[in-house]
Structures are given as structure tokens and as C-alpha cells.
Amino acid sequence: MKQVSLGLNLSTKKTRKREFLEQMNKVVPWDVLVGVVDPHWPKSKTGRPPFAIETMLRIHYLQQWFGLSDPAMEEALHDMPVYEFAKLDGVLDRLPDESTILRFRHLLEKHDLSTDMLRVVNDLLAYKGLLLKSGTAVDATLISAPSSTKNIEGKRDPEMHQTKKGNQWYFGMKAHIGVDADSGLVHSVQGTAANVNDVTQAHKLLHGEEVDAFADAGYQGAHKRPEAKGDVSWHVAMRPGKRKALDLSDPAQAITDKIERVKASIRAKVEHPFRVIKKQFGHVKVRYRGLEKNTAQLKTLFMLGNLWMVRGKLMAGAA
């Protein structure tokens, strides 16, 4: 892209955005992900040729990383680092517009390809020895949704719900995740309304090969549920009030407290993916209406978050 400047080499300025995109360009397995989409990609031989699958995937991921709507993404393609990352060289006569970007997202949603992408990326990470399967930690976080009724339908999203946490009310959905207890990488994602009890989703977050599962006090009784598997040992945190009442001068109770500390250190890994999507990618509020679309987006975000968390190891291995 030709750029007019005052003698400054702006196209190669090492900004944080450019550095971030260079790192993700190296660690995202583009060929593998293109292979997931390719069977569902339209093969029409008439009309204007479609953009490359990899280009559309890159644009879709740019939306997730920077929290861009379809119109905002169309405008962002005129930004030099974004333009270069999307591999749009040679197509200056046309850029993907917001309708093209929207149709690609709908294609991914229609065939539930975000689930397949999360799976194949995790298979790749497991092959590289970065994701083990002996233990799983589970947790959930609230994602806010607009509570205003100032829209075309005049009402809030019926699939979202309000819930009380502490002394504050929240309206939105919950992202339930299961992470590898060793690496902290996400392998399972479930989206529900905010008022759904965490323990009801616990067993959906297990991949089936773990022998131990770790959870906070909100998952008390997980091992007694009808869907519980007998070959999984649940290590659920003691309720805060009960732990606070422990007498640490008593050797037996002091050991109990140490065990709780060990369990907490393992469970802490489940907070890292939440931090990445909320702080690094800025996903603190749902973008779409309905649970299905927002859950698909969460799976994409956590897949990209996995790659972000192990980017150093992946780049070192490639080198």
C-alpha cells in the first residue's frame, strides 16, 4: 500500500500492535485452521472470486483481538499493520466490506467451526507436549450484556439473565471453562445464562481422560451428581467460612489448611485464560444477541488465548 508521510518510515514502525501481530502470525497454525474451514467454503466458479480463506480467518481473528464490529473492522483494514497482517497485498482494487466479514462469521457459526478450531489447536499443542490431560480445573466468569431496552425489539436479550454475586446484580451470561491443570490451557468451553449454577456444568467441562478435577467452593457436591464419573477424583475447595474457622494450632487442621493452599494454587491456573480474554483482548461484554453466537465467539477467544499464553514456547520451538 502506498503511503504518504513527511519522510517518516511509518510502515515499519515497531508499535505494540505490530509486535503483537507479528507474534500471533508466527504461532497461529494457519494451514491447519484453513483446513477446518475449507470443506465448507463456497466453490462457485462464477462471479467475483472470493477472498482467500486465510485472509478471512485473519480478519476474523483481528476482530476478536481488538474487539471490532463488522463496520469497524472494514475501516481498520486501512490501518497499515492490520492491512499487512490480513495479507491483502495485491487486492488494492477491493477490500472485504462489512457484509463479506459478516457472511464469513455466519459460515463459522452455521457449521460450529469454532469448536473444531479449538479442538485441532489443542491437539497440536498436546502433540508438542504443551497440554497434558491428567487433570482439569474448572471455573466460570460473568460476561455482561446490555441491559437497556432501547433497541428495535424494545426488550433485553431473552437468552441472557440476571444474577447476584456478592451484593451486586449482573445481567448477561457465564463462560464456563475447563483448563489443563498443568499448563492452564483451555480445552472445554460452555456458555450459559448468568443465573445457571456452576456445578450443573462441571461434568461438561471434563474431556474424559483426566483422573483429577479441581474446583472452587461453588462446585460442592459435583461428585454426587447423576452425571458424575466414578474414575474422576474431585478436589473441591472448602467453603471460606469453614476454612476461616480452622484452628492452625491444631496439627490436623493445619495440614487441612496446607492442603487447601495446594488446591488453590492449582485452581489459580483457571484465572489466567479469563485474564487474557478480558484484559489482553478486551472482551468484557457480549457483542451479539443469543447464547449460541456469543459461545462461538468465546471458543474462538479461548483458542487464540491458548496460543497467546504459549507463544514464547511455540516461537522458541520454531526457531
Cα dist from 30 to 65, 235, 261, 297, whole Å: 16, 38, 40, 18
Sort strands 135-144 and 168-180 into parallel, antiparallel or unpaired: antiparallel
| Interval 44-70: pLDDT, tens | 666 666 789 999 999 999 999 999 999
Whose cell is 475449507? That residue is: 38
| Per-residue pLDDT band at 11 (split at 50, 70, 90) | low
CA-only gyration radius of the chain, Å: 22
pLDDT on residue 1:
46
Interval 280-298 mean pLDDT:
94
Q: Facing residues of 275 across strands?
A: none
Interval 199-204 mean pLDDT:
94
| Per-residue pLDDT band at 5 (split at 50, 70, 90) | very low
Q: How many degrees, rounded to 5, is the angle at CA 281 between CA 37 and CA 309? A: 80
Better-scored residue on pLDDT, 238 or 229: 238
Better-scored residue on pLDDT, 168 or 14: 168
> In whole angstroms, what is the distance from residue 239 CA to residue 1 CA?
59
Q: What average pLDDT does the chain have? A: 89
pLDDT(200) > 50? yes
Sort strands 135-144 and 212-215 into parallel, antiparallel or unpaired: parallel
Interval 210-216 mean pLDDT:
93
| Per-residue pLDDT band at 74 (split at 50, 70, 90) | very high
Interval 191-205 mean pLDDT:
95
Max avg pLDDT among 4-8, 80-84, 191-195: 191-195
Interval 187-201 mean pLDDT:
95
pLDDT on residue 230:
82
| Per-residue pLDDT band at 4 (split at 50, 70, 90) | very low
| Interval 116-167: pLDDT, tens | 999 999 999 999 998 888 899 999 999 999 887 777 777 889 999 999 888 8
Whose cell is 446490555? That residue is: 146
Sort strands 212-215 and 233-236 into parallel, antiparallel or unpaired: parallel
pLDDT on residue 8:
46
Interval 72-88 mean pLDDT:
89
Query: Hey, where are the domains in the chain?
Result: 10-110, 133-289
pLDDT(92) > 80? no
Interval 30-56 mean pLDDT:
86
Cell triple for 186: 483451555
